[in-house]
Amino acid sequence: MYYQKSSEDTLLNLNVQASNGLTQDEAKKRLEENGPNTLVEKQRKTILQMFLAQLKDTMIYILFAAAAISVILHEITDAVIILSIVVINAVIGVVQESKAEAALEALKNLSSPTAMIRRNGKVMEISASELVAGDIVILEAGRIIPADLRLLQSVNLKVEESALTGESVPVDKDANFIAAGEMGIGDRINMAYSSTSVAYGRGEGVVVYTGMDTEIGKIASMLNESVEELTPLQKRLNDLGKLLGIVAIVIVAAMFGMALLQGRDIIEMLITAIALAVAAIPEGLTAVVTIVLALGVQRMVKVNTIVRKLPAVETLGAVSVVCSDKTGTLTQNKMTVTKIYLDNQTKDVTELSFDKNTVFVKGFVLCNDASTANNERIGDPTELALLDMGKLVNVTREGLEQTNPRINEQSFDSARKLMTTVHKEDSKVMSYTKGAMDILLGRCSKIYLNGEVTEITDQHKEDINTAASEMARGALRVLALGYKEDDDTANEENLTFVGLIGMIDPPRPEAKDSVRVLEQAGITTIMITGDHKDTALAIAKDLGIAENENQCITGSDLNELTQEQLNDRVRDLRVFARVSPEHKVMIVKAFKYNGSIVSMTGDGVNDAPSLKAADIGVAMGITGTDVAKGAADMVLTDDNFATIEKAVAEGRGIYHNIKKTVLFLLSSNFGEVISMFSAIAAGLASPLQSIHILWINLITDSLPGLALGVDPKDTDIMKAKPRDPNESLFAHGGLIFTVYNGFMIAALTLGAFLWSPIIHLNAEGMAVTLENIKWMLGQTLIVNGADYSIIEHAQTYAFTTLGVSQLFHAIGMRNYDKSLFKMKMFDNKSMIAAFIIGLALQIAVTEIPILTEVFETSQLSLKEWGNLILISMVPLLSHEIIVAGKNLFGKTA
């Protein structure tokens, strides 16, 4: 057991040296021998299971019932067709589901953990799956431990092991510990286990087990947690499906009653009832929406956003408050020191001199974890800027450390806002502390002025504060330095103040535009930062986030407030300065309390709770820790604020498209039900057969439905206010719109159905009465020596009109506020393709002989086609009239 061995023995055992790590060749060999460092995938659903899952749906049950009744009635063709359409639909569903799953899986891999390791004597970042036993892994706060490690080094290392032990308090680790006997996982403090995370400090370890051999690999059950998540919209659509199922049953029952009253043939009525039930159910809806969502997620990747949780796509469109970190997201995180303050004087950084300002330069360069060795810039931009400052006076960290080796430290953390390193300097011990000015100054009891150390006075403090404020108001980020002699404990009290530096971090040029676009879209941008109030406000003003100091609050002010008090005040606040990650949860709660839908960015370990508390947690792809990414709903691959704006616009577009698709598909169902119900109520035959309806619902309607789902987002999408997340799909006139279109399509279908009998009544010189139409529908004439069934003809007219009018309807649906002539037709090539294919398919089922037999349709003449297409254009005409009306009265829906 490695926890009972010394680190030297472990390394010997694994045949590796800590300073060099494995060679690439050796690592490759071990990877081939032992396989990748991955946990065996959770049991995937088999194709059969996926297929059966597609059939578990109220709508499908009703179709099965319809098929069964058809069999009883010896309508075998009907039954076969219904079943084949169900099967085809399920197959398409399976194909789409596996594609969507593969796409989402690929996205997850994009944000999967990496590991920082040492191989061939060089530090490198590799995918965690490529780790092998013997690899030397470097650990820092926020990293997920990628394999089981025997620790070799631990500096204040704390590991959060709840994934493994359930214990949520981070455990202190100690690389030097050697267990005398057996002990439980939680007590093996010289080990770090796969899937746990570094909460604090840093360390190094050697990989002892990978993949399924790790402790977490042994707990197989934990891997089978199901992560299938339906979005709120999908849940609502499922409910709608169920509701429509019930409606279908009620309609069928009502029809039956009516048929009995009318004294109709029961069997014929049963067949019609089945058709009606089929008409009431939007069979293609769920599949179309799933596909549109999956395509949407892929579209988000193009704007540098990885969606980790599907519901986020929808929630994004409803976001009303965007809380963003300042450094790196709103600003470029390209820091450069421009000003220095020491010996009671603010100077340009170019005036720095190592000989005169030795303590100042040494402190800032030594109390630093960044590195610029071999021309590689590794580390935090704030610290890199300090190394750059050192270079101005020909000082490097590596050079200084040769004579001033580090013997102790307290790493930086954003709650404490300080960092300390202790160095041996000849026979002396020097401890340097750098950090936020206001905090560091509070820890100083002395001051270093022109080479002399004196007690720090209030006057000194006032001078320092004035200098710092001046820098901060110029949007500089201020950092202070203090030191302490002869104390190797890295204690941060009783320091001697040395000086300040001010560094610029220019705002991202695109952030300003994004703030403005979001404002137009009714979304408030909030800046959250660990930085000083004045620096934060200066940058917030520049970006258009805040105008005055009253919109600013600091972490220490927040400490004085209760959650309720903040709830009341939060609406007026725009900048939260000097806050700790813990405050972020309070901020999210306050905005949520006021009814906002909040997105919150984060990168550190302590950001995880606020990312989870927000409606949309957004992690940084570049600077973000694994822990933050794991807790987030969405990851920005470029850490850029402007990406949030683009993602919100995409989210809005996707929701808008889904809404259009659903309303479009439902208006067709509604049209089918109304036309059939009214024909039957009038005592006529049904204008459509079940197979016609299934064909339209599943095939001809689905194509334009999908095309609507991938419509490019409207240019005005960011001019509207955010959507209320609880708002129904039928809000803002959606219901009236669906009903209106349903009635229109019903009227057209019915009109087309009656056309044929009326023409023939006229030809016979008979009066057009309901009785005569009924009679005529039952006739079979002989035309050109062939049977000419009136009902077949009438149904073909109705079927064609229904199918083609939906194709025209879809074109107008793309934008219900814009005329066709103002829409850019070629922006949505899928719609053009859907129209052409839909029309071709509709022609095929009435013109290709085998299909006409199956669909019981009759072939049409060119003139008939022309007429039917003209009738079918009415929905588009109606669209144009409504839009013209809206423009005239200046009303937008």
Question: Minimum distance between the CB of residue 637 and ligand ATP, rounded to whole angstroms?
Answer: 18
Question: Minimum distance between the CB of residue 360 and ligand ATP, rounded to whole angstroms?
Answer: 15
Q: Which residue is nearest to ligand ATP (CB)?
A: 530
Helix, strand, coil shares of the chain, percent, nearest 5, are 55, 20, 30
Active site residue 325: yes
Which residue among 419, 539, 613, 798 contacts ligand ATP (CB under 6 A)?
419
Using rule CB under 6 A, residue 443 touches ligand ATP: no
Which residue among 135, 283, 325, 615 contacts ligand ATP (CB under 6 A)?
325
CA distances from 814 to 2, 299, 881 (A): 64, 18, 15
Question: Minimum distance between the CB of residue 658 and ligand ATP, rounded to whole angstroms?
Answer: 35
Spatial distance between the Cα atoms of 145 and 194, rounded to a whole number of angstroms: 5
331: helix, strand or coil: strand
Using rule CB under 6 A, residue 610 touches ligand ATP: no
Using rule CB under 6 A, residue 389 touches ligand ATP: no
Our CB check for ligand ATP shows the closer of 620 and 707 to be 620
- Say if CB 691 and CB 851 are below 8 A apart: no
Spatial distance between the Cα atoms of 63 and 568, rounded to a whole number of angstroms: 54
Question: Minimum distance between the CB of residue 415 and ligand ATP, rounded to whole angstroms?
Answer: 8
Window contacting ligand ATP (CB under 6 A); options: 66-74, 214-222, 323-331, 352-360: 323-331
Our CB check for ligand ATP shows the closer of 327 and 805 to be 327
- Say if CB 22 and CB 132 are below 8 A apart: yes
Q: Is residue 554 exposed (0-12), middle (13-18) or buried (19+ Cβ within 10 Å)? A: middle
CA angle (515 as vertex; 514, 519 as ends), nearest 5? 115
Question: Minimum distance between the CB of residue 165 and ligand ATP, rounded to whole angstroms?
Answer: 29
Our CB check for ligand ATP shows the closer of 298 and 414 to be 414
Which residue among 30, 119, 150, 417 contacts ligand ATP (CB under 6 A)?
417
Paired tokens of 208: 């002892």
32: helix, strand or coil: helix
- Say if CB 455 and CB 445 are below 8 A apart: yes
- Say if CB 259 and CB 673 are below 8 A apart: no
Q: How many CB atoms lie within 10 A of CB 863?
A: 8
Restricting to residues 480-539, which ones interact with ligand ATP according to CB under 6 A? 529-531
**Residue found under tokens 């071990």:** 30
Amino acid identity, position 816? Y
Q: Residues, the chain, total? A: 893
Question: Minimum distance between the CB of residue 479 and ligand ATP, rounded to whole angstroms?
Answer: 5
- Say if CB 193 and CB 216 are below 8 A apart: yes
Using rule CB under 6 A, residue 327 touches ligand ATP: yes
Question: Minimum distance between the CB of residue 379 and ligand ATP, rounded to whole angstroms?
Answer: 9
Q: Is residue 124 exposed (0-12), middle (13-18) or buried (19+ Cβ within 10 Å)? A: middle
Our CB check for ligand ATP shows the closer of 67 and 635 to be 635
Window contacting ligand ATP (CB under 6 A); options: 44-52, 321-329, 779-787, 795-803: 321-329
Catalytic residue among 325, 505, 603, 607: 325
Our CB check for ligand ATP shows the closer of 107 and 613 to be 613
Q: How many residues of this chain bind ligand ATP (CB under 6 A)?
A: 17
Spatial distance between the Cα atoms of 850 and 844, rounded to a whole number of angstroms: 10
Which residue among 414, 567, 594, 637 contacts ligand ATP (CB under 6 A)?
414
Window contacting ligand ATP (CB under 6 A); options: 283-291, 380-388, 697-705, 748-756: 380-388
Our CB check for ligand ATP shows the closer of 283 and 409 to be 409
Spatial distance between the Cα atoms of 682 and 396, rounded to a whole number of angstroms: 93
Restricting to residues 451-480, which ones interact with ligand ATP according to CB under 6 A? 479
CA distances from 102 to 55, 106, 107, 288, 294 (A): 21, 6, 9, 17, 10
Amino acid identity, position 386? L
Question: Minimum distance between the CB of residue 466 and ligand ATP, rounded to whole angstroms?
Answer: 18
Our CB check for ligand ATP shows the closer of 605 and 665 to be 605
Which residue among 436, 539, 761, 811 contacts ligand ATP (CB under 6 A)?
436
Spatial distance between the Cα atoms of 262 and 379, rounded to a whole number of angstroms: 84
- Say if CB 3 and CB 11 are below 8 A apart: no
Restricting to residues 630-649, which ones interact with ligand ATP according to CB under 6 A? none
Window contacting ligand ATP (CB under 6 A); options: 39-47, 211-219, 325-333, 881-889: 325-333
Pure H helices in 722-788: 734-764, 770-777
335: helix, strand or coil: coil
Our CB check for ligand ATP shows the closer of 81 and 587 to be 587
Spatial distance between the Cα atoms of 38 and 108, rounded to a whole number of angstroms: 14
Question: Minimum distance between the CB of residue 195 and ligand ATP, rounded to whole angstroms?
Answer: 26
Catalytic residues: 325
Where do contacts with ligand ATP occur on this chain (CB under 6 A)? 325-327, 380, 382-383, 412, 414, 417, 419, 434-436, 479, 529-531
